[in-house]
């Protein structure tokens, strides 16, 4: 165990050696201290955790301005007890190709976050799965900033690399094509979260029972667009996650005493999805990119037949 603990400290020691370079994230006191990543600067309402913009247990839940080279990239609300993020949120501005591979930790939360050793050599086939995806980064700096263990949760490898990955690629294509604001720029807002489960990785890091995500944007040609997804964090499952409305996500995550809301107080559409765009985004040719949106399933039933005699 001593060797394991010493090995786990190596990434932190390396960061200390680089402490003269501003490459770490910032743990702040309030979600309002990290602006630019939430639609209308309004954080989600998460029952028992974040309500009315206020963190109910400030010793446990820590807002993080995910920052690299003095540039803020996205915001995370981190659960130091479960050692996983509650959610990560950001503004989507388009993406650039490339994928970094170096994972980082947050020195300010070192004793209360997952470490590199928690994920390596695990026998449960669990990935260090991003919440805010690296593929959504519009610069290489943003992409690198997503590789922090405060933006990761243990995810079943086939789920992370299968239906969840397909969903991320599909929504990215939708935002690229339709989330064009009045300044002709790509702009969408994402919130991606994890629901704690009953099991732990390495007896330290909570393994989420499910992961959820939602996006919303204003399109100058289509108006307000929004959709949500969630899926159980288990191996296998369907190839695609079902596309849901925001209202369905709210109902899924609400408690008997408090309602969950992902974009509270905004004009995001609560009862529509973006599935009507899937055939078009799938058919569009893109350089080094697949959209992987699910095929549409017809809900139109055949006209009923009757054997009754015509009226006299």
Average pLDDT per run of 10 along the chain, which is 312 residues long?
Answer: 38 40 71 97 98 96 95 97 98 91 82 87 87 96 94 96 96 97 97 97 95 98 97 92 97 97 97 97 87 73 34 28
Q: Residue 150 has what pLDDT?
A: 95
Q: CA separation (Å) from 195 to 86, 178, 192?
A: 7, 29, 11
Q: Residue 240 has what pLDDT?
A: 96
Superfamily per CATH, domain 26-277: Extracellular Endonuclease, subunit A (3.40.570.10)
Please state, in angstroms and rounded to a whole number, the distance separating the CA atoms of residues 158 and 65: 30
Q: Residue 125 has what pLDDT?
A: 86
Please state, in angstroms and rounded to a whole number, the distance separating the CA atoms of residues 164 and 235: 11
Q: Residue 8 has what pLDDT?
A: 54
Q: Residue 102 has what pLDDT?
A: 85
Q: Residue 309 has what pLDDT?
A: 35
116, 8 in Cβ contact below 8 A?
yes
Q: Residue 117 has what pLDDT?
A: 85
Burial 191-205 (b: 16+ CB within 10 A, else e): bbbbbbbeeebbeeb
């Amino acid at each position: 165990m001593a060797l394991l603990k010493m090995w786990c400290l190596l990434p932190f020691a390396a960061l200390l050696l680089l402490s003269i370079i501003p490459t770490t994230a910032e743990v702040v006191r309030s979600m309002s201290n990290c602006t630019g990543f939430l639609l209308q600067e309004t954080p989600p309402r998460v029952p028992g955790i974040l309500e009315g913009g206020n963190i109910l247990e400030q010793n446990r839940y820590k807002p993080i301005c995910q920052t690299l080279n003095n540039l803020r990239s996205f915001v995370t609300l981190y659960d130091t007890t479960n050692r996983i993020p509650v959610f990560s949120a950001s503004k989507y501005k388009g993406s650039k190709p490339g994928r970094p591979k170096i994972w980082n930790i947050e020195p300010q939360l070192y004793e209360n976050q997952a470490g590199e050793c928690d994920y390596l050599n695990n026998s449960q086939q669990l990935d260090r799965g991003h919440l805010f995806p690296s593929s959504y980064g519009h610069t290489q700096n943003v992409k690198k900033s997503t590789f922090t263990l405060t933006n990761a949760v243990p995810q079943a490898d086939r789920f992370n690399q299968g239906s969840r990955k397909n969903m991320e690629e599909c929504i990215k294509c939708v935002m690229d094509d339709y989330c064009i604001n009045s300044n002709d720029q790509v702009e969408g807002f994402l919130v991606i979260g994890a629901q704690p489960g009953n099991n732990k990785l390495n007896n330290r890091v909570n393994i989420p029972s499910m992961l959820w995500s939602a996006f919303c944007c204003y399109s100058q040609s289509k108006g307000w667009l929004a959709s949500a997804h969630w899926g159980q964090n288990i191996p296998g499952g369907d190839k695609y996650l079902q596309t849901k409305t925001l209202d369905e996500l709210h109902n899924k995550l609400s408690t008997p005493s408090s309602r969950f809301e992902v974009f509270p107080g905004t004009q995001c559409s609560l009862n529509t999805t973006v599935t009507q765009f899937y055939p078009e985004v799938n058919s569009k040719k893109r350089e080094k990119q697949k959209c992987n949106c699910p095929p549409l399933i017809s809900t139109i039933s055949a006209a009923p037949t009757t054997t009754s005699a015509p009226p006299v």
